[in-house]
Structure 1
Amino acid sequence: MDKELFRKTEGILYGYYRDKNRLDSVRKEINTVSSLINTIERNIRTCNVSIDPYQGGTGEGERVQTSSSNSSYVEKAIIKAIDDMEKEKAQRTKKLYKLQCEERNLIYKIEKVEGNIGMLKDEYKKFLELKYNRLPGEKIGMRDIALELNINKNKAYDLREELIKNIAEYRWY
């Protein structure tokens, strides 16, 4: 097997596990944003705002304040608070749509490789998980993988070579 194809196939595997982990975090974020949008909607519907009624005036005397719009400070403050919540809801909804789009793209990318990995034996899946499902900068040696799978180091290298070859052949057909 040529080195370039081997390197590309390993890159695909690293990307697959990275995308799988990202998909989990995107789904959690979607749930959080959806929950926030529902809370904001509920607050808008029930007019659940907190306004300090004494912010509009300076004293408690008998001053009469006239308004050209015939609305009080409290009414204006409530309207402004609801407008702010509606803007926040619009921003959160836009973010939710972006996250849902990212989720669909990740699912598409993952499914391309998942069909191939799904046909492997459990031992091979475990090997791929140990070798390629790593955080950036986190490395695990073949010796550690061999110990985990209870095989010798040379067998681990042979297994990696065989798996990469099989995945590369399936990938291009």
Structure 2
Amino acid sequence: MYRKIEEILYSHYEKKNKINRLKNRLSRIDNRIKVLKQDIKECNIEMQDTMKSMDYSKNSRNSNKVSIIEIELERAFNVLEKRIKTAYHNKYKLINRIRDLEKRIENIDIVLNELDEEELQLVEYKYNDKYGWIKISKIQHCSTATIYRKKDKIIEYLSNELIK
């Protein structure tokens, strides 16, 4: 039972850390979308260097033809629109992953919040920060035996609450 609770706690904090990383990625995607929209708004596009010059021969004079610049502008805007669409797709996939992870950790968060502050700190040192028991005892200014007693009490409480 002890090992099962430890696995649950390690997994819980790994998921919390993953949520933070995903939220950082989401922020970067939002910034990318903002920049792409700004590029479209300000016509900040790059033209290909291989554009041909205008042909002024008699055969090519036709008022219905679309200019090479217009074709190139349309191509550039299509590229930007495609990038925005891809960024939005990635954004919504990330949002769904974050929500899924948040649902998974919700029950354990509720149980952990019922611990007092010192017990919760001990759990975070061990399972989030991955400190050893000796280091935790030094941080909390008590003996290692006291830390082990607290740990046993917490594990027993969590096993009663989480594994029924």
> Does 2:40 match 1:49?
no
Superposed CA RMSD in Å reads 2.2
Q: CA separation in 1, counterparts of 2:20 and 2:69? A: 44
What displacement does 1:67 show? 8.6
Aligned counterpart for 1:168 among listed residues 155, 159, 164: 159
Q: What's the CA shift for 1:63? A: 4.7
- Determine what percentage of the aligned residue pairs are the same residue: 22
2:149 corresponds to 1:153:
no
Residue 79 to residue 154, structure 1, CA distance change in 2 (3 Å): same
Q: How does 1:15-34 map to 2 (within 5 A)?
A: 15-34=11-30
Tell me, which stretches of 5 or more residues in structure 1 are unaligned?
A: none
Per-residue Cα deviation, 1:109-168 (whole angstroms, up to 9, x for no partner):
12111111101111101101110003xxxx532111111111111111121111111011
Following the alignment from structure 1 to structure 2, what is the Cα–Cα distance between the partners of residues 56 and 146? 71
2: CA distance, partners of 1:159 / 1:84: 59
The number of equivalent residue pairs is 161
Runs of 5+ consecutive residues of structure 2 not aligned to the other structure: none
- Distance in 1 (CA, whole Å) between partners of 2:40 and 2:132 is 55
From 83, 99, 107, the counterpart of 1:104: 99
Displacement, 1:13?
0.6
Q: Which residue of 2 aligns with 1:95?
A: 90
SS in 2 for 1:151: coil
Per the TM alignment, residue 28 of structure 1 is displaced from its structure 2 partner at its CA by 1.8
Q: TM-score, normalised by structure 1?
A: 0.83
Q: TM-score, normalised on structure 2?
A: 0.87
- Residues 162 and 67 (structure 1), Cα distance of their counterparts in 2 relative to 1, 3 Å cut: farther
